[in-house]
Structure 1
Amino acid sequence: MKYQILKTNCEEEIKQLFTDVFTESETPAEGTLIGNLVEELQKTTKPEDIFCFVAIDKNKIIASIFFTRFTTETNLNAFILSPVAVATQHQKKGIGQNLIKFAIDYLKQNNVELLLTYGDPDFYSKVSFKNISEEIIKAPLKLTYPNGWLAQSLISENVSPVNGSTMCVKALMDQKYW
């Protein structure tokens, strides 16, 4: 198993991975929605505002995660983790966790200060994300599942409050993902 930042053009392969995973775990409509999100992230986000990490097994991408710029009024160097996909036949083997840990180490070495995500607290707590409230960091859009708002500081033990409004990259600034 090899974990790496994606530097080559694999847009279609990555989109298909997300489409397949979310179709199998949720519905075909969800697969299409997340596949299209991944395509939009890759096509509309400036290179300095996006990181794509992958797990490769036998020369095939079997997992992928995206971190994209999370903008705050205080100009923190922050990114949000979304979305995440591990090929169905490779789930429950720690690949997703190991890929996230690899990415966090990479981002820490590149002076990222804060990471956020919006998802399952039970899963993301395994990779050091902690529940936060919007009193700590305001979400860019209305949260439909407030318990899923999570963060971790890469520069201190605790997540410090961030004042003011926040924004994500254009592709994530759509209420249907929140």
Structure 2
Amino acid sequence: MDFSTDYETHAYAITELFTSTFLASEGTEEGALIGALARRLIAETPPEDLRVVTAWADGTLVGGIFFTRLTYTGDPRTVFLMAPVAVATAHQGKGIGQRLIAHGLDALRQEGVDIAVTYGDPAFYGRVGFKPVTDADLPAPQPLHQPQGWIAQSLTDAPLTPMRGPARCVAAFDDPALW
């Protein structure tokens, strides 16, 4: 498996991966929503606020992950939101998602990012080091429909401590339907 951070060259393929994966697992509406989110993240997010990691097997795109900056007023720590994550339906259950996440988190660590946060299944993401946090300790940029899915991990030796200030996400994520 090869990993790549070149998302601009493969923007269409990445968008199609997210659309088809979420369509297969969550239905037409969710597939369209996440496909549009992937498209907007690539097209509209400033490069300093976006990291995209893709996984390739024999020249075929088999997985992708987005990391976007979360900014907390009054807190100097660097925080990135890990979402969405997709593994092509035919390649699920082979550990690709976990390897993709580990690779992406390692890259953030090497950049000096302090905290990674995501909004998803605590059982799945717990396997790669995410732990539940409260909105009071790590405010979300929008009200959470499923607060138990708000999870984070420190990417440094420092423990997770409460963030100061309200959170601001990139424009593509600033939509209550995504939270």
- TM-score tier by shorter-chain length is over 0.9
* Cα deviation, residue 164, structure 1: 1.3
Task: Specify whether residues 26 and 7 from structure 1 end up closer, same or farther in structure 2 by C-alpha distance, changes over 3 A only.
Answer: closer
CA distance in 1, matches of 2:141, 2:21: 26
* CA root-mean-square deviation: 1.0
Does residue 55 in structure 1 map to residue 55 in structure 2?
A: yes
Q: Which residue of 2 aligns with 1:118?
A: 119
* Cα deviation, residue 8, structure 1: 4.6
2:7–2:53 CA contact under 8 A, matched in 1? no
**What pairs with 1:8-23 in structure 2 (closer than 5 Å)?**
8-23=8-23
Task: Specify whether residues 171 and 8 from structure 1 end up closer, same or farther in structure 2 by C-alpha distance, changes over 3 A only.
Answer: closer
CA distance in 1, matches of 2:148, 2:158: 20
CA distance in 2, matches of 1:157, 1:130: 15
Count of residue correspondences: 178
Q: Which residue of 1 aligns with 2:128?
A: 127
* Cα deviation, residue 75, structure 1: 3.0
Normalising by structure 1, report the TM-score.
0.97
* Cα deviation, residue 7, structure 1: 5.0
Normalising by structure 2, report the TM-score.
0.96
* Cα deviation, residue 163, structure 1: 1.6
SS of alignment partner, residue 85 of structure 1? strand
Provide structure 1 residue ranges, at least 5 long, that are not aligned to the other structure.
none
* Shift >4 Å, 4+ stretches: none
2:79–2:115 CA contact under 8 A, matched in 1? yes
**What pairs with 1:26-37 in structure 2 (closer than 5 Å)?**
26-37=26-37
Does residue 169 in structure 1 map to residue 164 in structure 2?
A: no
